[in-house]
Amino acid sequence: MPSDDALIIDDDDRYSRMRLIAWWDQEKLHSAKVLVVGIGALGNEVAKNLALMGVGHVFGIDLDCVEDSNLTRSVLFREADNGQPKVHAAAKALYDMNRDTTFYPTHGNVMTDVGLGLIRDMDVIIGCLDNREARLWVNRMSWKVGTPWVDGGIQEINGVAKVFVPPDGACYECAMTENDYRLMSLRYSCPLLKREDILEGKVPTAPTIASIIAGLQTQEALKLIHGMKVEDGGAMVFNGIANNFYKTNYQHNPDCLSHHTYGEALKTGLSASDPLEKLFGFAEEKLQSKNVSLNLDRDLVQTIDCVQCNSSEPVYLPTYSVNANRIKCEICGTDRKPNLTHLINSDSGLLSKRIDEVGIPAYDVVCFQTDDKEVFLELDGDRDSLYEKRYRP
Ligand SMILES: [Zn+2]
Ligand SMILES: [Zn+2]
């Protein structure tokens, strides 16, 4: 007869050992939603941990396909996956691992293909990224809609994990230095270079450090899901050579550009494939003005101008969908200059375009302004189809 009731274990329940942890709430995990951004070495370990723990809804986004060199650091990939999108290879492996976990794969870029509605729906975002630009993007999105995020970074056998909780704590950008901004602007000296051409992410790493840092990231996410106290606005730094582990805290910067927090979003019933005109109609009614501005998260190329020829070609496309080879002037051969904007006004002549044609992703939350008011509108018409995109074999 067991001496302690707590040791009676239901062997038919795969979560029975974890339920023995005093604060563990398997039902909470089962209803939790987590977005994993990047399915490389860290993302593989994080997604694996989430599936092992029975987290109910795991969203994954990644742009890349599996290569042989990924196989040494990616528990979810097999040789046969070579050439397949990483999110699809991961989806198969996670399905085999635990069917209690529903995986929603997006083969795309977090900076262009994820709407704020989805970010807001998440309990936590786990960043498994290899560049500042994408981290800064995730940081700003998470602040806008109030979702905590856990960043991770690895190099060789060293690594760092950081927890950020909006709206009051220090954020990723609070900790950015002049040098970080300088390195970023160098890479963006031409705004029309495709991001995938710029981002390299060929940092050498061992699978062991990926396990360690992803383990920390997932544990912090686990605490956030349980509503436990976390030390946010700082970093946990692990030096694998010296086996030295320490924590630092960042200073909250009141001038930080990431701290724009959206108010409550109004449902519009619209989808990103609807005409911009309908969205403007909604905003004009709510703001009671015929002259409103849509404040875009992603710059739009209005025109490409040639100073030599004094000519201007109308474009009106998001920067990421304008090919860099359009820069050269066909007449004089010099490099022209893209003229960017992040505002669309009621009288812009663009309202017959579709919402997604100006770079707004599905299920996004957009911000409309007048001189003294702002309103936040949600493309909730996309929600159901987005959640339908779960992986099924
Ligand atoms: Zn900040
Ligand atoms: Zn020219």
Separation between Cα atoms, residue 183 and residue 231, nearest integer Å: 29
Ligand 2 midpoint to CA 306 (Å)? 5
Judged by its nearest atom, the ligand closest to the C-alpha of residue 139 is 1
Q: What angle do CA 233, 239, 243 make, to 5 degrees?
A: 120
Ligand 2 midpoint to CA 309 (Å)? 4
Question: In this structure, are residues 91 and 390 in contact, taking their beta carbons and an 8 Å threshold?
Answer: no
Judged by its nearest atom, the ligand closest to the C-alpha of residue 142 is 1
369-383: average pLDDT: 97
Ligand 1 midpoint to CA 61 (Å)? 24
Judged by its nearest atom, the ligand closest to the C-alpha of residue 310 is 2
192-220: average pLDDT: 80
Ligand 2 midpoint to CA 189 (Å)? 20
Question: Measured between alpha carbons, how far is residue 123 from residues 180, 304, 389 in Å?
Answer: 29, 41, 19
Ligand 2 midpoint to CA 338 (Å)? 13
Question: In this structure, are residues 236 and 162 in contact, taking their beta carbons and an 8 Å threshold?
Answer: yes
Phi, psi of 250 (to 5 degrees): -90, 155
CATH of span 5-249: 3.40.50.720
Per-residue pLDDT band for 2 (boundaries 50, 70, 90) equals very low
Ligand 1 midpoint to CA 246 (Å)? 22
Ligand 1 midpoint to CA 368 (Å)? 23
Judged by its nearest atom, the ligand closest to the C-alpha of residue 307 is 2
Range(s) within the chain of domains with CATH label 3.40.50.720? 5-249
Ligand 1 midpoint to CA 139 (Å)? 9
| Residue count (the chain) | 393
β pairing state of 102-107 and 265-267: unpaired
Judged by its nearest atom, the ligand closest to the C-alpha of residue 337 is 2
Helix axes 41-52, 86-97, angle to 10 degrees: 20
For the chain, give me the number of helices (H) and strands (E)?
A: 12, 14
Q: What is the DSSP string of 239-297?
A: ETTTTEEEEEEPPP-TT-TT-----PEEE----TTSBHHHHHHHHHHHHT-S--EEEEE
340-358: average pLDDT: 94
Question: In this structure, are residues 71 and 93 in contact, taking their beta carbons and an 8 Å threshold?
Answer: no
pLDDT reading at 389 higher than 50: yes
Judged by its nearest atom, the ligand closest to the C-alpha of residue 327 is 2
pLDDT tens, 21-73?
Answer: 999 999 999 999 999 999 999 999 999 999 999 999 999 999 999 999 999 99
Ligand 2 midpoint to CA 307 (Å)? 7
pLDDT reading at 194 higher than 60: no
Record the pTM.
0.93
Ligand 1 midpoint to CA 134 (Å)? 15
3-state helix, strand, coil in the chain (%, to 5): 35, 25, 40
Question: Quick one: pLDDT at residue 135?
Answer: 96
Question: The tokens of 345 are what?
Answer: 């006004």
Judged by its nearest atom, the ligand closest to the C-alpha of residue 166 is 1
Number of alpha carbons in the 13 Å side-chain half-sphere of residue 13:
11
